[in-house]
Amino acid sequence: MKATSYPQGQSEDFAFTQENLRRAETVIARYPKDRKSSALIALLDLAQRQNGGWLSVPAIEYVANYLEIAPIRAHEVASFYSMFNDQPVGKYFIQVCRTTPCWLRGSDGITEACKKKLGVGLRQVSEDGLFSVIEVECLGACANAPMVQINDDYYEDLTPERMAEIIDALREGGEVPVGSQTGRLSSAPEGGPQTLLEVADAKPGEGA
């Protein structure tokens, strides 16, 4: 590692696995050799996944050392983006969208259902270590509000009752269908298509 004017990060308690080292090198290879710090967000995400869903100080500073940047730069990024967690989370990390479309469709009820079912407050981990819940800003599934993200998956068209059922299923190790919980196809209107329900056969020479 080249000499620098800043102190090295304290990273003795964290190191990428061999598999993640290979992944890190694949990511870094996407950038010019003198711009490998551009891989910072991707490598922080990799470290967070390896570290059980959150970034400890050693994990953050390991990434900084790996990319040969000042540790403060890695801390700035890790503390700025809500995708990074600075404290432990449950195995199932529930992010409840609270932005306007979801709020209008009842996201407050989804949050309360999570807190009541799990017996925890926001950013707390359930006693069994399986769940934690936070509120976040727009996750981009506005047409299917209210919705939550659990780990990497979206669960949409929720009700408080359905949210409680999802938690029960995950706790028991069951599988829960992702996406709309009402059977809606993508972001189609509730109840199915509302237009072009009948399309007459065009006669030869008519139409485009």
d(C-alpha 23, C-alpha 43), whole Å: 9
What confidence tens digit (pLDDT) does each residue in 96-131 have?
999 999 999 999 999 999 999 999 999 999 999 999
Contact 131, 125 (CB under 8 A): yes
Six token digits for residue 206? 């008519």
When comparing pLDDT for 115 and 203, which is higher? 115
Q: Is there a contact between 156 and 141 (Cβ–Cβ < 8 Å)?
A: yes
Q: What is the DSSP string of 105-146?
A: TTHHHHHHHHHHHHT--TT-B-TTSSEEEEEES--S-GGG-S
Domains (range + CATH), the chain: 18-80 (1.10.10), 92-179 (3.40.30.10)
**Which of 4-18, 58-72, 113-127, 174-188 shows the lowest per-residue confidence on average (mean pLDDT)?**
4-18
Q: Which helix (H) or strand (E) holds 162?
A: helix 160-171
What is the C-alpha to C-alpha distance for residues 150 and 157, in angstroms, rounded to an integer?
14
| pLDDT above 70: percentage of residues in the chain | 92
User: Does the pLDDT at position 207 exceed 60?
Assistant: no
Region 63-90: mean pLDDT is 95
Q: Which long-range contacts (CB under 8 A, 24 or more apart) does 68-73 make?
A: 68/1, 68/2, 68/4, 68/36, 68/37, 69/37, 69/40, 70/4, 70/6, 71/6, 71/7, 71/8, 71/9, 72/6, 73/37, 73/40
Residue 76, Cβ neighbours under 10 Å: how many? 12
Burial of 172 (0-12, 13-18, 19+ CB in 10 A): exposed
pLDDT surpassing 90 at residue 52 = yes
